[in-house]
Structure 1
Amino acid sequence: MTDISRRGALGLLGGAAALPMLGSPAFANTKVTVGALNFTSHAASFVAFERGYFAEAGLDVEFKFFQAAQPMAVAIASGDADYAVTSITGGLISLAEKGATKVIGGALTEEKGIDGQKILVSDAAYQAGVTTPKALDGKKFGITQAGSSFHYMGAKIAQAEGIALEFTPLQKVGAVIGALKSGQIDAWSIVPHIAKPLAGSGAVHIIGNVADYIPNYQVTTVFTSANNAANERAKTEAFLKAFSKGAADFNAALVDKTTGEADAEDMIKLIHKYVYADKPYDKAKPGIVNGAMRINEGAALNTTSVQDQLDWFKSEGLVKDSVTMDMLVDSSYVQTM
């Protein structure tokens, strides 16, 4: 994990959609730890940090970076992180059932007309004739852990195609990438800022789109501890307000492209501090641009998609049948979509 902190950041003015129920925080310089992955899909938090929206809201933010979604959920439950953005996993749902975590908003979403997550296969599988998702029958599909979003996506693809997949847990995204490139696994699904550069290298091939199998998929959510949701309302509302401003800036610059080329370039440079930071800017830029999927305005949540995910986890025996949406989601914060 890597920690990054900006204390006393200057608040900057920015046009953004604000959550209607949120007011000004009654505190200043409150320390908050935000869990994230080094993905373009986490850009709303990065923008809110770099453009001073968190500081403007009275939040002194420190990032903790993780390699997978489920450890992030554990960190929220244990108090090692205050807020985070990640996919719905079996771990997150189980922690919510135990009264430890709450989903408080939506983030990344699959949207018709916006290039989204891709289905990838290794070059070895592709050369052997696996050129469509239907041809994945009996093949090894990489996941981080059982009950991860990768597991959910692979299962929905298999169900739609009437095929069987062998799910291979590899714990970390980096390990999945290595296994796919070396042919140790046959397939995977991932956000486009990772998928497209991998495909461009020739080591893997894109054979389909996740949106064709899971339309309007709520890929990631904003969540926090049940304690923060119940007892730290002003802080939680301030976080959501700043996060939403960051999302609005990101969408305008790179998804809707309404603010001009100069702003888009500034946005890519900002994100580059967190995504592909080990690469020169000109090498990192295409991957960042490719990852520009919609982040929900106002942190709105597609509850229909969340319910579908919850139902799937139950059907697979990965969470208890008794878990309800009310256990998982604190609807007092949520705008639905």
Structure 2
Amino acid sequence: MSRWTRRGFAKAAVLASLALSSAAMTPTGVLAADKVTVGALRFTSHAASFVAFERGYFTEEGLEVEFKFFQAAQPMAVAIASGDVDFGVTAISGGLINLAEKGAIKVVGGALQEEPGVDGQMILVSKGAYDAGVTTPAALKGHSFGITQAGSSFHYMAHKIADKEGFDRAEITLRPLQKVGAVIGALKTGQIDAWAIVPHIAKGLAKAPEVEVIGKIADYIPGYQVTTVFTSTRNASERPELVKRFLAAFSRGADDFNAALVDKTLSAEEQEAMVRLIHKYVYADRPFEKAEGSIRNGAMRINKGARLNLASVQDQLDWFKSEKLVPASVSMETLVDTSFVETD
């Protein structure tokens, strides 16, 4: 091989290497997109993740996202611990806390939060219960309340109502039904007397003759940090940059969502575009015209910058301990990694 040929060959090899390297680069400068699976429920309250995905915010952070959908919070926590899911956005559950105690999970941010002036979770009763006199939350004493599982957010809300109204927690009968859909069916048919749920579901149910609204959860749990962002302890400790990039994209999605449907500072056209985006994931089995109102009704505040209300998380942890659903030894440091977002 001649000197010129060897030189040309070496140059071509370098150029090829650079081309391959460039092809592997993402807009963020990392070699390749990190593939992550995000756990979610098909609720309007999970829209920050959907917006971040649809508008390319995850991609801009070098993340290739796939969603995995769940029917309740606790199975999502198990999926995080097992590695089947990388990030979850849902309510704190007993299962999540127990997995945190075992060193498997960390809460790294906040999502949905009750806020004065913004419609939040509503307390519902069946028409039969309402006609029998259950017209205020104080009247829930001696009646049944639907939950997905023991240790779920529904369980927590039922007991917080009992505490404020001054009757024993045992005087509200809990009915574990595993899935949100099953609870809805039981309420509409009068198999349970009461439930509490986010507004996009609550308002839709209240339009039907089988269900009545009797109160708001915000009156019983002010500032309630309804949902949180969580990941595996391994991600939090060994891949903090991955967590930061996820939260950055998630927060941009939350900003867009809040501007369109909570603060309503965007134009009518931009608001409708947001609803249509969410409709791909929420009430997707309904025509847009029938889904639009329910999606708009579910627009609760998603915390800016994934800010976390630690006082609310502490209250939830204290309740879990009081019910002996989690070990008394679990601390906030065990459950929460506060290094990623601002906290209250």
Calculate the TM-score normalised by the size of structure 1: 0.92
- Pairing of 1:80-95 with structure 2 (within 5 A): 80-95=84-99
Q: 1:25 & 1:159 partners in 2: Cα distance? A: 52
Q: 1:321 & 1:101 partners in 2: Cα distance? A: 17
Give the one of 185, 197, 200 matched to 1:190.
Answer: 197
Q: How far does residue 202 in structure 1 lie from its aligned partner after superposition?
A: 1.6
> Any stretches of 5+ residues in structure 2 without a counterpart?
1-25
> One-letter code of the match for 1:162?
G
| Equivalent in the alignment of 1:143 | 147
Q: 2:32 & 2:339 partners in 1: Cα distance? A: 24
1:102 aligns with 2:109: no
- Pairing of 1:1-337 with structure 2 (within 5 A): 26-163=30-167, 164-337=171-344
| Equivalent in the alignment of 1:3 | none
SS of alignment partner, residue 224 of structure 2: coil
**Alpha-carbon contact 1:142-1:176 (below 8 Å) kept:** yes
**Alpha-carbon contact 1:122-1:181 (below 8 Å) kept:** yes
Give a deviation string over 1:272-317, Cα, whole Å, max 9, x none: 0111111111110111011000000000000000000000100110
Give a deviation string over 1:103-126, Cα, whole Å, max 9, x none: 000000000110100000011111
Give a deviation string over 1:203-254, Cα, whole Å, max 9, x none: 2110000000000000000000000111111211110000000000000000
**Alpha-carbon contact 2:46-2:89 (below 8 Å) kept:** yes
1:268–1:332 distance in 2 versus 1, CA, 3 Å? same
Q: Percent of pairs identical after alignment?
A: 69
Q: 2:320 & 2:300 partners in 1: Cα distance? A: 25
Q: 2:183 & 2:32 partners in 1: Cα distance? A: 41
1:72–1:27 distance in 2 versus 1, CA, 3 Å? farther
Q: 1:287 & 1:75 partners in 2: Cα distance? A: 29
Q: How far does residue 260 in structure 1 lie from its aligned partner after superposition?
A: 1.5
Relative to its length, the structure with more helix (as a share) is 2
SS of alignment partner, residue 72 of structure 1: helix
Q: 2:104 & 2:209 partners in 1: Cα distance? A: 43
Q: CA RMSD in A?
A: 1.2
Q: How far does residue 200 in structure 1 lie from its aligned partner after superposition?
A: 0.3
**Alpha-carbon contact 1:107-1:300 (below 8 Å) kept:** yes
Q: How many residues align?
A: 316
SS of alignment partner, residue 337 of structure 2: coil
Q: How far does residue 127 in structure 1 lie from its aligned partner after superposition?
A: 1.4
Q: How far does residue 334 in structure 1 lie from its aligned partner after superposition?
A: 2.5
Calculate the TM-score normalised by the size of structure 2: 0.90
Structure of higher CA gyration radius: 2
Q: How far does residue 25 in structure 1 lie from its aligned partner after superposition?
A: 6.8
Q: How far does residue 269 in structure 1 lie from its aligned partner after superposition?
A: 0.3
**Alpha-carbon contact 1:25-1:57 (below 8 Å) kept:** no
Q: 1:81 & 1:256 partners in 2: Cα distance? A: 32
SS of alignment partner, residue 102 of structure 1: strand
Give a deviation string over 1:26-47, Cα, whole Å, max 9, x none: 4532110000000000000000
